[in-house]
């Protein structure tokens, strides 16, 4: 692994980063078949909400006050999309601004650093390259100082910061396998935490940095697991045969975990549970069966997520009440939100 280096923003694309986030599941008889959500997105776009103005560049004076970072994908968001943007937005206001412009490939999985000054994300490789894998990048909250973190032969996606900001966990995958790896932000040294025959994804650090939760799939549903931050002591937190979970997220105090679950009758819905896997509570209903990508507010009282009513951003209280739409546009989809930590 090379040391992280400053790299000019060039043309790039790799669609796997979006297709992973937008996978859908369809019940057919007794079996669940994975399909892409591109077909369903066409129908959803018709019901999209009114457009909002988007400023082209955050200014240094106000970039740090933006509280949510997320992906914008132009419609139709399908395999022909060559680039996506990263946007930032205020939770309690109309402002939406561009953090990473389009024209630089498929940008996915943005996540704030613990101090709120940087954002890590995945981006596809440069056009014309023999290697079409995604890599992990970091950018300052004001849209400057773009740094490439990884140079892996496999695709690197779904970054997650450690609570002290010194490491980033991410998923290293090819078409057959996916493992969880960490990289030191300063030195570029990496360590592979998992090595097995199941697909692992969606790593998330506990607030005290001692644990990492993640999704592991064994062919009979995708379940939530936890391990020590060095990769040891792997154990299931929520193992539900024939059910599929995704995108687990710790609450700021570490007492609970939010996640999305595929429900046979209502599609993807949001749930919370205690950090030991007990007291499972459902938060959402409806949303065209697409309520995904939960992220806690800094005080732990709200959850922001993307919802399949035009793929807009919504927030809801942790007891499932007071559902509110935050942002959406008529000509694009918003998803993969991450709420800025308290700084």
Spatial distance between the Cα atoms of 171 and 200, rounded to a whole number of angstroms:
7
- Please tell me the predicted confidence (pLDDT) of residue 54: 57
Number of folded domains in the chain?
1
How buried is residue 36: exposed, middle or buried, by Cβ count under 10 Å (0-12/13-18/19+)? middle
The model's pLDDT over 289-320, given as tens digits with 9 standing for 90+, comes to 789 999 999 999 999 999 986 789 999 999 99
CB 272 within 8 A of CB 245: no
DSSP string, 141-199: TTS---EE----SSEEEEEEE-TTSSEEEEEEE-SS-EEEEEEETTT--EEE---SSSE
Give buried/exposed letters for 66-99 (b at 16+ CB in 10 A, else e).
Answer: bbbbbbbbebebbeebbbbbbbbbbbeeebbbbb
- Please tell me the predicted confidence (pLDDT) of residue 50: 37
Spatial distance between the Cα atoms of 43 and 234, rounded to a whole number of angstroms:
41
CB 170 within 8 A of CB 203: yes
Structure token digits, residue 218:
């064994």
Structure token digits, residue 55:
């400023």
CB 131 within 8 A of CB 125: yes
Cα 149 to Cα 112, 174, 205, distances in angstroms? 15, 18, 19
Strand pairing class (23-28; 31-36): antiparallel
- Please tell me the predicted confidence (pLDDT) of residue 7: 33
Spatial distance between the Cα atoms of 56 and 64, rounded to a whole number of angstroms:
16
Q: Residue 184 is part of a domain; what is its CATH number?
A: 2.120.10.30
- Please tell me the predicted confidence (pLDDT) of residue 229: 97
The model's pLDDT over 44-54, given as tens digits with 9 standing for 90+, comes to 333 333 334 45
The model's pLDDT over 100-132, given as tens digits with 9 standing for 90+, comes to 997 778 999 999 999 999 999 999 854 434 456
Spatial distance between the Cα atoms of 104 and 74, rounded to a whole number of angstroms:
14
How many CB atoms lie under 10 A from the CB of residue 39?
12
Range of the domain at 215: 5-339
Q: What is the pTM of this model?
A: 0.82
- Please tell me the predicted confidence (pLDDT) of residue 99: 96
- Please tell me the predicted confidence (pLDDT) of residue 90: 93
Q: What is the mean pLDDT of the chain?
A: 81
- Give the contacts of 232 (CB within 8 A, at least 6 positions apart): none
> What are phi and psi for residue 210, nearest 5 degrees?
-85, -25
- Give the contacts of 110 (CB within 8 A, at least 6 positions apart): 69, 70, 71, 86, 99, 119, 120, 121, 336, 338
Give every residue of the chain whose pLDDT is below 50, as ranges: 1-53, 58-65, 126-130
């Amino acid at each position: 692994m090379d040391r992280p280096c400053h790299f000019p923003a060039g043309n790039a694309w790799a669609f796997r980063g979006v297709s992973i986030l937008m996978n859908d599941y369809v019940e057919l008889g007794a079996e669940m078949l994975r399909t892409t959500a591109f077909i369903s997105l066409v129908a959803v776009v018709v019901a999209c909400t009114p457009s909002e103005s988007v400023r082209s560049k955050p200014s240094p004076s106000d970039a740090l006050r933006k509280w949510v970072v997320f992906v914008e994908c132009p419609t139709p968001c399908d395999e022909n999309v060559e680039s996506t943007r990263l946007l930032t937005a205020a939770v309690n206001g109309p402002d939406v601004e561009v953090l990473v412009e389009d024209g630089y490939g498929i940008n996915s999985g943005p996540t704030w650093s613990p101090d709120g000054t940087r954002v890590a994300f995945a981006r596809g490789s440069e056009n014309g390259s023999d290697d079409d894998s995604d890599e992990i990048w970091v950018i300052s909250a004001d849209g400057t100082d773009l740094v490439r973190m990884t140079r892996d032969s496999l695709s690197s996606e779904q970054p997650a910061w450690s609570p002290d900001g010194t490491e980033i966990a991410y998923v290293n995958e090819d078409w057959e396998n996916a493992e969880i790896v960490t990289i030191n932000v300063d030195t570029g040294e990496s360590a592979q935490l998992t090595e097995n025959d199941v697909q692992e994804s969606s790593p998330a650090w506990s607030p005290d940095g001692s644990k990492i939760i993640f999704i592991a799939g064994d062919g009979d549903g995708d379940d939530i697991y936890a391990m020590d931050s060095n990769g040891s002591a792997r154990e299931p937190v929520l193992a539900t045969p024939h059910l599929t979970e995704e995108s687990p997220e710790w609450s700021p105090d570490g007492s609970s975990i939010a996640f999305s679950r595929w429900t046979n009758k209502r599609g993807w819905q949001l749930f919370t549970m205690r950090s030991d896997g007990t007291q499972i509570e459902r938060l959402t209903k409806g949303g065209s069966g697409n309520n995904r990508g939960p992220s806690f507010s800094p005080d732990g009282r709200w959850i922001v997520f993307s919802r399949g009513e035009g793929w807009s951003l919504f927030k809801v209280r942790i007891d499932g009440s007071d559902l509110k739409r935050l942002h959406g546009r008529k000509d694009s989809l918003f998803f993969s939100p991450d709420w800025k930590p308290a700084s």
